[in-house]
Amino acid sequence: MSNTTPSAVTETTTTTISSLDLYLSLIQIPAITTQFYLWGYLITFLLGFTGNTLSLLTFSRSTLRNISTGCLFIILAISDTLYLFISIIDFAEFGLKVRLYHRIDYDQLCRFRMFTICVSQVYSAWLLVIITSDRWIRTRFPFKSNSICTRKNALLFASIILIAVIGLHSHILLPFFGMVLPGIPSLACGANGNNAEYVTFYYYQWTIIQIITTSLGPAVLMIIMVMDISIKIRAQKKLVASHLEPISGYRSARSDKRIHNQMILLMLSTIGIFFITTLPITIDDLVAVHTITDLSDLSQLFIIRTILNWLQSLNCAVNFYVYCLTSTLFRKEFTQLVGIIRGRRELSLQAQTHMRTIHVTQPQQQH
């Protein structure tokens, strides 16, 4: 999530294509910015694509996918993967220095890139809200949770949120959004100056809307629900254990409680990563919307935004590894998945060895 400033748009829209090329050639991009987009995003891709694939496979196992929260974690992994795929464009343009300007329709590229990145970011944040809501309902209303927290309802709410997020960001696909300073990190895309009202909206009102919808709104809701979950769990621990008699179904209830607790751990770990990776860029956005009036120090802007954008990208890359560290249930399911994959590979190797043996022995028997 990165915006330019009105002064940059004013300067850009008053130049011709040839003067824009001259202006771009004069802008010095700090080496650390290029290195972050190159090596930083390589690390992100390596961790992210591997981790999200393993998360999808693990949550697809029957023990986890039959739970509404498990289905939501699957959707979250898909959304995070989409964000990483789109980030390849930034990696190529700003890290590998592939010149896209003049080779493709840069306005269309900006709309596609920013729309997809913003949708995936906001959607992932609100998926965390739904996941937290699911655990909150199961904690606060345990006797009604089986009828409320179903996979069907989870998918329904996830679909509604997706439609709402797409509608919220649909203005990015309008002709008023597009190329600003092509090939320049954090300044490449934005309101292109074709409509003065949209320029004002995008660089002021829309920045506030982004801050609320991407981080502050989800954060406040999750904090409230997590605090209430904590209060409820503490109250439950105060119940006298001796009042529980061994009755039919008690073992099943204990198993359900264990799964519930493990899902809470997964939820808390994901929320923790969300706060660590998104809070810094949110603070920077809040400060920038009131303080940035010119582009006198481009180098500082490039470095700060590049580091913060990279940190935010880790939100879509490290969840799998945090799951493994925090949840015994997830580790168990992942270990079993690895065992199944190894078993199938061994069977495949045995079958291939057997077929080779047959092919070798058949000619000898014919002689």
pLDDT in tens, 56-72: 999 999 888 888 999 99
d(CA 74, CA 77): 5
Residue 359 domain-assigned (yes or no): no
Residue 13 domain-assigned (yes or no): no
Q: Residue 238's pLDDT is what?
A: 73
* Type of residue numbered 280: P
Residue 87 domain-assigned (yes or no): yes
Q: Residue 345's pLDDT is what?
A: 67
Q: Residue 295's pLDDT is what?
A: 52
Residue 54 domain-assigned (yes or no): yes
Residue 342 domain-assigned (yes or no): no
Residue 301 domain-assigned (yes or no): yes
In the 8-state DSSP scheme, what is residue 27?
Answer: P
Q: Residue 254's pLDDT is what?
A: 66
- In the predicted model, residues of the chain with pLDDT beneath 50 are 2, 4, 6-16, 240, 242, 244-249, 293
Half-sphere exposure of 200 (CA within 13 A, CB side): 2
Q: Which residues pair with 179 in a beta bridge?
A: 189
Domain count, the chain: 1
Q: Residue 10's pLDDT is what?
A: 44
Q: Which structural domain, as residue segments, surrounds residue 66?
A: 29-241+255-333
Helices (H) and strands (E) in the chain, counts: 16, 2
pLDDT in tens, 344-361: 766 665 656 656 666 555
Given a contact cutoff of 8 angstroms between Cβ atoms, the answer to whether 154 and 134 are in contact is yes
Residue 160 domain-assigned (yes or no): yes
Residue 130 domain-assigned (yes or no): yes
Which of 316, 123, 315 is CA-nearest to residue 218? 123
Burial class (CB in 10 A: 0-12, 13-18, 19+), 182: buried
Residue 82: give its domain's CATH number. 1.20.1070.10
Q: Residue 366's pLDDT is what?
A: 56
Q: What is the pTM of this model?
A: 0.84
Half-sphere exposure of 286 (CA within 13 A, CB side): 11
